[in-house]
Structure 1
């Protein structure tokens, strides 16, 4: 039995992929301590891990959503990462040394500092598309490497890392110092997937969410359309209103997960529409015939694993990359939220739901997801790193 310390940032899309992995490691007899923001403590505790709720400097800065590590947001995001790392490392080093560090790769970079501090192997979880010299997110979000703000921020971060004995800043940010890098996406979905050798594509780890209950399909047998713009960057009442206001004459039962949007902003709800702040998404997807999504990777993978055609409304660079890949692989359609109309949306929904070619490609991708191994494959890699 090994002692494993798990670290995750403030962001559901970075916590959810770890839940199944942590649960599998606990099932195998490992002692996992999960250090997560308090809002995720309950769902992580369901894995059987010892949960240590931690506060986040991002909350005190009113940063309710995880920082966007790309494009014009990158400089500010790196600053947020430095602030959070400085905030958490002194707290976390006070806990016993683990045998292995397991942490989110894109954001929980304090896991790299702690693994170096303790001299332990580390395994990173990457819940998104990854990059190499053949493909990277720079195609979607370009950044001037000579931007003075970027240079100043990187100098500050490099100085912090040097104080902790870390010299190779580039390797640090690429995660190249990790013993293993797990990508919770199937290789078949990754752009240029065949060119990656330093990552293990284990596919989505959906787990058995104890909290994902409490919804039943409509008794009238109408096909279900799930509409969700994710847990972050979802304050788009106009999109929800476009769907809700035109749903009455459609042969669909609409289930809308609207986050913090005020339901009053959507107007009167037709009988075939139900609106919730949050829904048990895996349960709804098991009954859905189409899924309108922001194309965040978590929701995208859940939809594909359930073989549900996607209509993507991407709002940021990472989501645009995901949405383009969905369209490229014939798994659904992509629409521009800026020019969205009710006719365009419903036309896309009807088209993907009735297209046998889309269904066939979804079946192939679902098979790729199953073959990737999920939680069991991820736990195997963790145990390999321990050896």
Structure 2
């Protein structure tokens, strides 16, 4: 079977991926819980109705699609069961962007390789954009001493509720991640994951278009991807979406301590899921992935990946990965996007690299 399933097909990411698949002459199969909404989103394409992750996994085992693209968070909860369902007959792709989910899925490399299937995690804006820049900077070179990656999305917001899946991803912390407590940041020091301050390592970046943003440390999947791509013992991952003001950073320790209490976290998750956001245009013309790598001899290389609206790119990347998997271009095992396909993946989705070398 050559079907490509998009799980969470009525959501914003699912709809963007379906559009990008159709642009590549691939008719998606949309899967989700609500038959009426699926039919409206599918526009005549096939749908699969499944009321839970367990039912979705059962349908994957029964129908054996060629590729499954998972957009359903929190990925720490959904990815393990769905990957297991895929391995007998299907390749798997997801949009995870948190350390816990990305690390756990990559930890299944041996099982994926034994099954002869390709598993790709982090196939959204943050991991793919920053990892691609790191791969570009480090091509043909020994491992640098230190790497910092920054994701700077330009994202148009749709009106609507935050939703249970996103709220869960934001508030569940880092279950099972070594190096610190569940509600702490992370970084690499000496090749090991260690605790880091949430919103720490704040830096004012001047973008190539002349505008400026502040980025700060966040425990994101790009931390894992950047370390694996570069081999650097010291790595920081940061985002323009991270809290960077002194006031917010001052109250974060108390807020995260409260989230460690189960009933408080459940209450906060329900409340956040119900919050509605207003529609807004994207704040700048371009989104950016950024990395800077420093070698022990004093060489410093800096790179940028320029692309358009972040959500549209998050649709294009998994669609292009699916196209390549259908064409037989994958390899058995578990990967992040640029580790599998190199920087060309970002370019084929409309990204443009800008790099510079600075010797100090």
Question: Shorter chain as normaliser: what TM range?
Answer: 0.3 to 0.5
TM-score by length of 1: 0.37
Q: Which has the larger radius of gyration?
A: 1
TM-score (norm 2): 0.39
Greater helix share, structure number = 1
Q: Which structure shows the higher strand fraction? A: 2
By relative contact order (CA 8 Å, sep 6+), the higher-ranking structure is: 2
